Structure 1
Amino acid sequence: MTEILRHLGRYELCRRIAAGGMGEIFVAKSRGAGGFEKTVIIKTILPHLAEEQEFVTKFLDEGRIVVNLTHGNIVPVFDMGEENGEYFIAMEYVPGRDLREVLRQLHEERRAMPVELALHITAELAKGLAYAHRKTDADGVPLGIVHRDVSPSNVLISREGEVKLIDFGIARATGKISKTMSGRIQGKCCYMSPEQAAGRPVDARGDIFAAGVLLYELLTGCRPFEGDSDLETLEMVRVCAFDAPSILNHEVSDELDAIVARALAREPEQRYQSIDELQIAVTQQLYGNGYTVTSRDVATFLEQLFPKGVEPDVLRKARNSASSGPLDLDAALNLELDRLDRADATPSQGFVDPHLATAPALTTPVILAQELLVSSATPSVYAAGSDKSADPGTGSGTGSVQPVSTRPANGFKRWLAIAVALGLVIGAVAAIATWGPQASGMLTVESEPAGARILINGAQLVGVATPHTLALPAGTHNVQLSLEGYVPKSFTLELERRQELTIFGADARLTPVSINGEARRFEISTRPSGAALVANGMELGIAPQKLSLGPQDVVNLVATHPDCDPGTYTLSHSHATESIVLTLKCADSPVRAPQESVAATQETPQIRTRPIGAQASKILVTFDSVPTGATVEVNGAVLGRAPIQASFAPDDVLNVRGMLAGHTMIESTRRASSIPNARLAFSFVPLEMGCLDFRALEPAHNELAINGRWLEGRRMMLKAHPLPAGNHTITVRNPDAKREETFSFNIEPGSRCTYLGVWKPER
């Protein structure tokens, strides 16, 4: 039997889902003949406000406005009425999420909404607003409807991916009898237009401004205007200064920056003059970049963002109340938390600025067997913070190549752990016996011409070129030769134990790329864009840049970007392509080598066998890390990102440093010949991380340095900028105002960001 709260008109109120200072919202059922049943939303006025005629008139105005709006992007109102002095509006129930919930979930996952989805949602929202703005009465006279409260909580995304606008509660229509109550400013401060914040008349261009704010938030995860208080926020809206979205999200194009800037122009005359113009601009940007977005794409995104259900659990239970009793404790707590959250006035958090370094998630800990196969007398691994001396053959540093330490439980579990440990020891001994010099073979790689780079199984040998001899474990290997101006060549070979093979002759001859002897012009870009380029020590400027090279010219390119590791590339006149992309390794993106348009050829090499000779003059060492992608530095020189290989003389002492954003740095000193199986793996320990929300108000656009490291460009805010827990400094500099100041702050671990606001205007 259905348990209902009460009846209101012909509706059964099942669950109260929200309550505020002016009214309540219920999930309700409307029933009819033949078992007809429909779930609806009922909005009511609180009893004490029902006695205020001005407020009642305003409430009824909403119903009169929306009941005449029939559009796919507006939630329809079915009914409005009054019973025993209680006024109510009945509207469609839309299973799904509002944009506020979507943005909050994206922030918790530290990721951004895809640009194409942000554009699609804005375009759909604009369609609904355009319909409302154009609406006329029965005589064709425009009603002059302005929503005046376009914000994330008033934009619903249905389970089917449809975008719907709700809550015309403070909408203004020409000719309506209600006026803004007592001259109050109504709406959410963060989304107000400057004229609305100043109490001046508002027209449809105010909704355009709010839509621009919403687009900005979808693209960047943060609001362009948000202060410590409503008064400060209103002042920021009036000044109307903000960072371009592309500063906070590298995926945003300059054209999209311009669309947002026009929508957020301070003066209404400088904005789009109709919401249709904004909708057209956004749609052109969407399809002009090859995006095709449908409601199904939005629905899929929502399903992935809310894997436990697109429809909130509390609302689902309320909708299904016909077959369920009262809310259980979890549902009641969730409902109350949701209510408190809706009333929460704390600033929203944005997603991590893609410009800046983030801490990658730590994968499942792995101990590589090669690192465990060491003598107990000379252990090569120590826990972080070990004070073991840094003699060759030992490890030292703030972190180290780290074994996993576990404490077995009492009883059976303890004996089980001992048995497993003994099994590992036996396996290690067997591996040592098997994996020795006898299990290796010798490979000599030659090429015509000499000097080609060598890649073994996809890993480049650092600092060596053909001809070169190295030891490899027995088995199948892929060898690739790469030389500027020549087509890369790839071989697959089988190396047996104690065998010596040589790649030589015609099959090792590289084919030159056909080019003329004239100067060539190269275009150099970076990923992410905007990195600073240096060629042979001379600054080229910010990428992309063009560079001309003569037949004899060779340049060493270096690309640097804030919070990314530097990238290097050697470019000559004979390079296969004239478009070079330097992909930098940042904390949130995988590293990729510059792409060349000439594909490697796969061939079977001509191999000759020769007698076993002297031991190899070099040892090929593999550097690996958990998680992968750590920057490896040997004797002060950066080798690259793990996994990577390099050759060393057996007696070389290697001072190795492993660095991974968001993790402790690891240092280890080893003699090349003492590294078990020539493989060194680092297991990184993540730092406790927090984040910083920062804003400088006046002057607004400043140069920022965190802990002495300057960020790129000028900006007025940082949103959810990741930092290790502890004390930090930020320096704010404005050359135009001749002002510079350094502030100290503390970061607490966790997802709640520390807020720091500086240079606030004096009142």
Structure 2
Amino acid sequence: MISPQLFGKYILIDKVAVGGMAEIYKAKALGLGGFEKTLAIKKILPHFAENDEFVTMFIDEAKIAGQLNHANIVQIFDLGEINGDYFIAMEYVYGRDLRASLRMAEKKGKPFSIEQAVYIIIETLKALDFAHRKKDSKNRDLNIIHRDISPQNILISFEGEVKLTDFGIAKATSKASQTQAGVLKGKFAYMSPEQASGKRLDQRSDLFSVGILLYELLTGTRLFLAKTDFATLELVREAKVERPSKFNRKIPNALDRIVLKALKKKPEQRYQHALDFQEDLTRFLYSSSTFSLDKLNLAAYMQDLFAETIREDQERLKEENRVMTEFLRQIEAERRQQAIELAANPRTPAPQSWEGSPVLPAVGEESDEGSESAYSETPPRPSFLRQTTTAFLLSLLVTLLFFLGREGYSYLNRTASLSIDTEPTGAQVFLNKQRKGRTPLYNLQIPTRMHHLVHIEKNGYETQHFKLAPKKRMKIEKTIHLTQTPEHGSAEIESDPPGAEIFLDGKLQPEKTPVRLDRLEAGRRYALQIRYPGYLPFQETIEVGKGEERKIRARLRSAPPKPEKALSRSVSPPPRPRKRASSHQAFGRINIQANPWAQVFIDDKKVGNTPITDHRLSVGPHTIRLYHPIFKKERVFQVAIREGKNEEITWDFVR
């Protein structure tokens, strides 16, 4: 059921998708003269909005994608917070993603043709080439890596446009949030071998993922697909790829060679740049008299594939028009009532809901003006919102001035605009001790003729504060560089001889000396013990301060030889031989995976971050604990390891 709701200056029309961490709405932005733009609003789910690191990652997505103005990349129009809801306003693409398109093609028995597959990948590579080569305002490379090239993130409009979206886990030099080493992000079946192994990535990783998409489009089969995530990751790491023509005999040898080059296991053997990959596919497409394609061909295919869906959407649009017309009438009536109430008490501040709200046109007339939307719903229709005439606006303005009176108008004119951003983003902004949102914060309206105190707070950074005394209509823009206040220290530990085991508060650490232990809590005392076979243990209580890098060098002393037992003068008969105890100790293995990732503790000892593969454990019961430090969630499992057997644990922290 369509149920519109005001959301700042936007009107949310209908929820179109819900993911693990965010939800997406179809929305409209309205303006003067009947201006109307259909767009998509992506909102963080409420239980993630209080998570500083997730909010920072969300802001990073908007800041990265917002710099990428390209026809093949979904455009970002706005980023902000309304009543604690963080949102991104982005281009609305009327169509379907590649995953839904592949499923519908399989269901109807109408697979993508070779030329359609190649065209979709060429358009995707155009987007990646632009993103990979993007520079900042100082002409420095941003080094953007998408890291999640998958069918769900390739949108195909019913007009034949191909768009890359979702830079939610993209990596860029300017990002405020950082990825932990060994943490896997992305969809397993579309990762590169180095990504599946948790290694450092460069832009060639994205090109391998594009190669997987091309393979799937050409053959209609998933390249890396297994029963479990662990098995899928193993297939990706091995990267054994058969010629796609084995599954589709229509594929020429020239195209086989392009696909296999993109899917080389070693990055240095693949295409080094998206443009190289794109040019090879373009040459293939246009060098053959058999293959040719443009977006009109793809549009016709998509409209045929989703013909029933489009007809249903047309009926839904009629209902949407009716509901929206009634909704706007109600809003207009409420605002007229507010004007009347303000006239009765002119010293009462203007209703806050007016700030940032859409400019509502009159309802009841039709206009012949064209749509301003990035994509018009198919087929184009005359908008019910393009109705306002200049005469009506002037009369409405006169009416408002009459009701508001001199004092009311003077009040509305006594504000200044404040915009604040921080490096890094995601800091909380307080105005006169009242929380106003997180940075970046745009066009915050503040009264003039008074002093204001602004506080900027972010965990791990020094609080910033400053005073403002704005004049009317003043536009204030500030960018504040936050100074980090480390709440942790580190310790570099060396031993002679090296290779010694380290125990911290009795817990064995995964690395041996020499090693650097990071993120030690400042001011906390730790019991340090260093052990090496044949040497006496080294013991010390250590404490580090904020930001301190302490160095510890332990020279281990050889253990004294054990004294031999004195021989008895009386010769006793030799003891009866005892049955020798078996020295064989049985082992099994365990694989552990979590979404999106987790720290892994086995029997209270940290062994690393997921994925944990083929980890050897002794036969018997063990306690496995998964902990996600961002979500502050954990899950405990009891497992029984059997000799020679593999056990598997998978847990989803976002379900």
TM-score bracket for the superposition, by shorter chain length: 0.3 to 0.5
When the two structures are superposed, what TM-score results if normalisation uses the length of structure 2?
Answer: 0.48
